[in-house]
Amino acid sequence: MHEMGIALQIVEIAVGSLPADLGEARVAAINLKIGKLAAVVPESLRFCFDVAIKDTLLAGAKLVIEEVPVVARCKDCQAQWTIDQPVFICQMCESGSLEILSGRELDIESIEVVEEDNHVSG
């Protein structure tokens, strides 16, 4: 529900991370990781991103989203598994004491920049 705010934040971070010597190069893609447990809807974020990049150095860039599964480890029996249902109980020993290893990400990984000469649109 707050995807526009997130999109604006992504634009701010990405623009701030661009090298000063960008020259004729163009930003082709922003690579983002979103954990399944993050309160962000990828499709809505993509829509907002396309609006947010207008008239910025990122204009025309694609948002590449890698969704990260929720992986937990039991603190009692050390079992590790992927949580795909809203059940945060160890499947092996039924302990509720878990460590969430992944799934809360909302990270910008990298920016792909392409030289105009090598760019073919089609």
Partner 1 sequence: MFPDDTFKVKRYFHHKDFHKPHHSRATPPQADVSTQKSGTREIKVVRRVLDVNEKMAEQNRKLFAEKGLFVLNVMSSPGSGKTTTLQKTLARIMPEIKTAVIVGDICTTHDADRLANTGAPVVQINTDEFGGDCHLVAHVIEKAAITLALDDIDFLVVENVGNLVCPAEFDIGEDSRVVVLSVTEGEDKPVKYPLMFRECEAALLNKIDLLPYLEYDKEKAVDYIHQVHPGMPVFEISAKTEEGFDAWIEWLKGKIKAKVH
d(CA 34, CA 69): 9
Residues near partner 1 (CB under 8 A) are 1-6, 9-10, 13-14, 17-19, 25, 28-29, 32, 37-41, 43-44, 46-48, 50-51, 60, 62, 86-89, 95-97, 100, 106-115, 117-122
Least separation in angstroms between residue 92's CB and partner 1 is 14
* Residue 8 vs 80, nearer CB to partner 1: 8
Nearer to partner 1 by Cβ, of 80 and 95: the residue is: 95
CB 58 within 8 A of CB 67: no
Instruction: Report residue 23 as tokens.
Output: 């020259």
Task: Return the number of the residue (25 or 80) whose C-beta is nearest partner 1.
Answer: 25
Q: Which of 29, 54, 34 is nearest to 112 (CA)?
A: 29
Alpha helices, H only, 22-113 = 42-52
